[in-house]
């Protein structure tokens, strides 16, 4: 059992107002756990009777406990290239990304970087992520093995690409199909792990490759589909040139029946009306990646349109085009992207997108995303004020919404005090302090 200040959104909702109505703020609460599951979250006065001994709880008072963050789009093999200077998407891929991803043919490198990457997720309070590997199957073997040891709910996949990339990162359609199939058999629904079919994006896919992805999706209908969509204007023009017979970028994926529930399209910035309609009609999801979109100069994600069209949306860091693993910082940047379009992203809506909303976008909202009984016990213990400036500002905040908003604005990994996965504390800041 854990005693402390809890905040979550109790049910899936659409729109800021509906989300705010479902916000639950329990300043002195008791969370009961059993074997990695949540039994209940109730106010302390109500819960204390359920304790066998009055002292039978961890005392996290003074901290703020929220559901674990869900990062709905990230590339683990780009960890070592964050902050690559000077390019927009297509030349950034060529000059920086591909050479770095080439390193992941080595299982040792993949294992080292997997451990580093997962530690970064946990150090930032992220307990679930939808992750790109590289084209090498050994890259995802390494990541899944490491995630399994931590009992994380993680979805990942090997990149599939057969054109418009260096030879050392491309493969035949047959090889892509076979290797993906083997990985699905090994990892999909293995404990808390899930597999995502991961064609990089339309420009690096031949029609035959997308047909192979379609065949895999038909064979394994509960796998995820994870790719990029309409991130950059040159990219959109390139897709038009490569796929002239399709009327839009999303139309290419839709033609191969790669839209639908559990399909997650990263970015979705430059979309036509019909593409939004198609996302909605197929119940597809998009990942909004504000730090990446600003860093690569890609454009402004239309948060309000996404809501009006009632398209499922999660927040992604998109490391390494994204500039941070921190979902707190990412929410702060999402707020600014919305501001530039006169949309006001309030704290409860922002935290929803980073938790239950992200879980909904990944079709995992029956398992994670809040403190409802029966959910898996993935959560973050935030230290709401760790610097003099944060302390000053925190003490000058009226209510939980202002405190959460200040965390989005001034917060980062220093505010993550404990991270719990599947009912166990798997990361703690003091261990870091002792080591240092």
When the beta carbons of 266 and 346 are compared against Fe ion, the nearer one is: 266
CB-CB contact of 345 with 52 (8 Å): no
CB-CB contact of 371 with 355 (8 Å): no
Using CB under 6 A, list all residues that contact ligand GUN: 75, 89, 93, 97, 200-201, 228, 231, 292, 318, 321
Query: Residue 89 Cβ, how far from ligand GUN at the closest point, in Å?
Result: 6
When the beta carbons of 89 and 122 are compared against ligand GUN, the nearer one is: 89
When the beta carbons of 213 and 407 are compared against ligand GUN, the nearer one is: 213
CB-CB contact of 105 with 166 (8 Å): no
When the beta carbons of 151 and 318 are compared against Fe ion, the nearer one is: 318
Interface with Fe ion includes 318 (CB under 5 A)? yes
CB-CB contact of 74 with 131 (8 Å): yes
Query: Residue 213 Cβ, how far from ligand GUN at the closest point, in Å?
Result: 15
Q: Which does 231 bind (CB under 5 to 8 A by kind): Fe ion, ligand GUN, none?
A: ligand GUN
Burial of residue 37 (number of CB atoms within 10 Å: 0-12, 13-18, 19+): middle
When the beta carbons of 93 and 354 are compared against ligand GUN, the nearer one is: 93
Q: Which residue lies nearest Fe ion, judged by its C-beta?
A: 318
Touching Fe ion, residues 202-241 (CB under 5 A):
none
Radius of gyration for the chain, computed over Cα atoms and rounded to the nearest angstrom: 21
- Output the CA torsion 252→257→258→263 (10° steps): 130
Query: Residue 89 Cβ, how far from Fe ion at the closest point, in Å?
Result: 9
When the beta carbons of 265 and 405 are compared against ligand GUN, the nearer one is: 265
Query: Residue 74 Cβ, how far from Fe ion at the closest point, in Å?
Result: 8
Query: Residue 318 Cβ, how far from Fe ion at the closest point, in Å?
Result: 4
Tell me the sheet residues that pair with 195.
156
Query: Residue 293 Cβ, how far from Fe ion at the closest point, in Å?
Result: 10
Distance between CA atoms of 56 and 48, rounded to whole angstroms?
Answer: 9
Neighbours of 434 (CB within 10 A): 8
375 preceded by cis ω (within 30°)?
Answer: no
Distance between CA atoms of 357 and 379, rounded to whole angstroms?
Answer: 15
Interface contacts to Fe ion, rule CB under 5 A: 266, 318
């Amino acid at each position: 059992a854990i005693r402390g200040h809890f905040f979550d959104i109790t049910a899936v909702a659409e729109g800021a107002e509906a989300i705010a109505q479902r916000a639950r703020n329990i300043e002195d609460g008791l969370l009961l756990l059993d074997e990695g599951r949540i039994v209940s979250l109730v106010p302390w006065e109500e819960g204390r009777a359920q304790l066998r001994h009055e002292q039978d709880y961890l005392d996290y008072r003074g901290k703020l406990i929220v559901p674990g963050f869900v990062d709905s789009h990230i590339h683990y093999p780009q960890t070592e290239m964050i902050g690559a200077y000077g390019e927009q998407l297509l030349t950034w891929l060529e000059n920086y990304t591909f050479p770095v991803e080439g390193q992941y043919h080595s299982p040792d490198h993949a294992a080292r970087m997997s451990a580093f990457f997962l530690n970064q997720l946990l150090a930032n309070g992220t307990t679930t992520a939808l992750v790109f590997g590289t084209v090498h199957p050994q890259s995802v073997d390494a990541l899944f093995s490491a995630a399994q040891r931590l009992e994380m709910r993680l979805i990942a996949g090997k990149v599939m690409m057969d054109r418009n990339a260096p030879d050392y990162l491309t493969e035949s359609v047959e090889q892509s199909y076979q290797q993906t199939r083997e990985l699905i058999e090994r990892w999909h629904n293995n404990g808390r792990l899930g597999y995502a079919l991961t064609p990089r994006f339309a420009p690096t896919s031949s029609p035959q490759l997308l047909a192979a992805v379609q065949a895999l999706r038909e064979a394994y209908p509960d796998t995820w589909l994870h790719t990029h969509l309409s991130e950059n204007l040159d990219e959109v023009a390139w897709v038009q040139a490569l796929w002239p017979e399709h009327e839009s970028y999303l139309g290419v994926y839709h033609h191969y029946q790669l839209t639908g529930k559990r399909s997650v399209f990263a970015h979705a910035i430059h979309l036509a009306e019909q593409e939004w309609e198609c996302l909605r009609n197929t119940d597809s999801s998009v990942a909004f990646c504000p730090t990446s979109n600003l860093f690569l100069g890609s454009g402004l994600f239309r948060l309000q349109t996404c809501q009006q069209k009632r398209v499922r949306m999660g927040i992604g860091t998109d490391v390494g085009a994204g500039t941070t693993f921190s979902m707190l910082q990412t929410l702060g940047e999402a707020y600014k992207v919305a501001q530039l379009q006169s949309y006001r992203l309030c704290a409860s809506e922002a935290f929803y997108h980073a938790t239950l909303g992200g879980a909904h976008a990944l079709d995992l909202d029956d398992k994670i995303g809040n403190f409802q009984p029966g959910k898996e016990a993935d959560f973050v213990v935030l230290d709401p004020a760790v610097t003099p400036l944060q302390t000053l500002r925190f003490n000058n905040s009226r209510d939980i919404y202002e405190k959460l908003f200040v965390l989005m604005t001034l917060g980062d990994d220093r505010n993550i005090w404990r991270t719990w996965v599947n009912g166990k504390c798997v990361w703690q800041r003091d261990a870091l302090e002792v080591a240092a």
